[in-house]
Amino acid sequence: MEGNGPVSGENERRYSISIEMLANSIRENWNPELSLSSETCIYRVPEILRKGRESAYAPKLVSLGPFHRDNQSLCKMNVHKRRYLNTYLEQYPEINLESCLETLSGLEQRARQCYAEDIHLNSNQFLEMMLLDGFFIIVFLQKFYSFGREDNDPILNTMWMPSLIQVDLILLENQLPFFVLEHLFNLMPVSDKDYTYPNLVDLTIDFFYGFVRRDTPSTIVINSSGVRHILDLFRTCCIPSSRSEYGFNFRPIPRHSVTELHEVGVKFKAGDSESGCLMDVKFTGKVLEVQPLLIRDGTEPFFRNLIALEQCHYPTKAYVNSYAAFMNSLINTPKDVDLLVNREIILNYLSNNEEVSHFINNLSADDIIYDESYFSEEYAMLDAYCKKRLHKWMTSLRRYYFHSSWAVIPFIASVILLILTLIQSVCSIISL
From first to last of its 432 residues, the chain has per-residue pLDDT tens of 455 566 666 666 665 667 778 778 787 776 554 556 789 999 999 988 888 788 999 999 999 999 999 999 999 999 999 999 999 999 888 889 999 999 999 999 999 999 999 999 999 999 999 999 999 999 999 888 876 556 688 898 888 899 999 999 999 999 999 999 999 999 988 666 555 677 899 889 888 876 655 445 555 678 888 899 999 999 998 887 665 555 545 556 778 999 999 988 899 999 876 656 888 899 998 999 999 999 988 899 999 999 999 999 998 888 998 899 899 999 999 999 999 999 999 999 888 999 999 999 888 765 566 666 788 888 889 988 888 855 566 655 555 555 555 555 665 666 677 787 778 777 777 776
CA distances in angstroms from 265 to 280, 371, 382, listed in the order given: 21, 26, 11
- Tell me the three state secondary structure of residue 267: strand
Tell me how far CA of residue 204 lies from CA of 139, 164, 211, 234, in angstroms.
Answer: 11, 16, 12, 9
Q: What is the pLDDT of residue 315?
A: 86
Pairing status of strand 346-348 against strand 293-295 = parallel
Separation between Cα atoms, residue 146 and residue 352, nearest integer Å: 34
The DSSP 8-state label assigned to residue 208 in this structure reads T
Nearest Cα neighbor of 253 from 370, 340, 395 is 370
pLDDT given at position 42: 97
Q: How far apart are CA 231 and CA 215, in angstroms?
A: 17
SS3 label, residue 418: helix
Question: Which among 176, 181, 155 is positioned nearest to 112, based on CA atoms?
Answer: 176
- Which residue from 272, 270, 277 is spatially nearest to 239, judged by alpha carbons? 277
Do the Cβ atoms of 209 and 187 come closer than 8 Å? no
Structure confidence at residue 254 (pLDDT): 75
Instruction: Please tell me the predicted confidence (pLDDT) of residue 367.
Output: 59
The CB density around residue 293, as the number of other CB atoms within 10 Å, is 20
Hey, which bits of 228-365 come out as E strands?
267-270, 281-284, 287-290, 293-295, 346-348
How far apart (Å, rounded) are the C-alpha atoms in residues 146 and 148? 6
State the Cα–Cα distance between residues 154 and 145, nearest whole angstrom: 16
pLDDT of residue 229: 97
pLDDT at 83: 95
Distance of alpha carbon 419 from alpha carbon 387, whole angstroms: 30
CA distances (Å), 364 to each of 35, 170, 304, 307, 358, in order?
A: 31, 19, 9, 10, 10
The total number of residues shown for the chain amounts to 432
Beta strand 281-284 pairing with 267-270 = unpaired
How much is the pLDDT for 214?
44
Which pLDDT does position 335 carry in this prediction?
Answer: 95
Distance CA 174, CA 61 (A): 11
Identity at 148, one-letter amino acid code: G
Number of neighbouring beta carbons within 10 Å of residue 385: 18
Q: At what angle do helices 123-145 and 178-185 cross, to 10 degrees?
A: 60
The pLDDT value recorded for residue 17 is 66
